[in-house]
A and B are shown apart, each in its own frame.
Chain A
Amino acid sequence: ETGVTQSPTHLIKTRGQQVTLRCSSQSGHNTVSWYQQALGQGPQFIFQYYREEENGRGNFPPRFSGLQFPNYSSELNVNALELDDSALYLCASSFNGQPQHFGDGTRLSIL
């Protein structure tokens, strides 16, 4: 059974740029959630995708957007990057409300 995989592992961008992060869900899972974890803090929920539709959103601005594909993989897109967007971005997958399993995250640094 393949777990949740995220790419890239590390990324450096500058303010104003755009970034796309990718996530492959665990085999058999149909729901993907994205979280932002700033240094020294707990993860904060960004949004969740189920059957290719957004299924709930946390307190993040519209420049954070996402997609889910028919194979349940997902992308997180962030436009107009700001310094405060520097964080570990975590993807989690699950099946119909069962516990979420996390990938190792993408470390995004904004210069």
Chain B
Amino acid sequence: GEDVEQSLFLSVREGDSSVINCTYTDSSSTYLYWYKQEPGAGLQLLTYIFSNMDMKQDQRLTVLLNKKDKHLSLRIADTQTGDSAIYFCAETLPQNNAGNMLTFGGGTRLMVKP
């Protein structure tokens, strides 16, 4: 079955690192994604990782994937007040060459204190 879980809330101080965690249940996931949602807006794609990778780094963002434990994390280095938002983890399952459907977690609200 499909189930993606995240902790609800994370608070950090400006300049610190943030780590947002996610667990998923379907071992056939192909890609895992992190999206950011600011108030009143849609979802912004931050980064994604293919299921045969362990780590991906993109500027201040580092994604770690532990496929054995079905655990995904997003680390934001030097967190800024502009990083305050809700972060969603999502997985896709193999569908066909046309596209993949996303299954989202409930989101983690990140609050960055100055």
Cβ of A96 under 8 Å from chain B: yes
- Residue in chain A with minimal CB distance to B8: A40
Please report the number of residue pairs spanning A and B whose Cβ atoms sit closer than 8 angstroms.
74
Instruction: List, in ascending order, chain B residues with CB within 8 A of A6's CB.
Output: 42
Cα distance A10–B88 in the bound complex, in angstroms: 23
Let me know if A31 and B106 touch, CB within 8 A: no
For A92, the chain B residues whose CB sits under 8 A away are 43, 102
Residue on A nearest B107 in the bound complex, by CB: A42
Given A42-B107, A43-B104, A99-B33, answer yes or no on A94-B99 (Cβ-Cβ < 8 Å). Answer: yes
Interface residues of A in 57-86 (CB under 8 A from B): 58
Q: Is B52 an interface residue (CB 8 A)?
A: no
- Chain A residues lying within 8 Å of B4, measured Cβ to Cβ, are 42
Q: Mark A80-111, 1 if CB is under 8 A from B, else 0.
A: 00000000001010101101111111000000
The residue from A41, A90, A100 contacting B45, defined by CB atoms under 8 A apart: A100
Which of B12-20, B55-63, B90-98 binds A? Answer: B90-98
A60 CB → nearest B CB, Å: 12
B95 and A100 contacting across the interface, CB-CB below 8 Å: no
Are the CB atoms of A45 and B41 closer together than 8 Å?
no
Most buried by B among A90, A96, A100: A100
Q: In this complex, what residue of A is CB-closest to B45?
A: A99
Residues of B close to A44: CB separation below 8 A: 104
B104 x A97 contact (CB < 8 A): no
Q: Which of A39-55 contact B (CB under 8 A)?
A: 41-45, 48, 50-51, 55
Interface residues as binary, B71-106 with A (CB distance below 8 Å gives 1, 0 otherwise): 000000000000000001010000111111111111
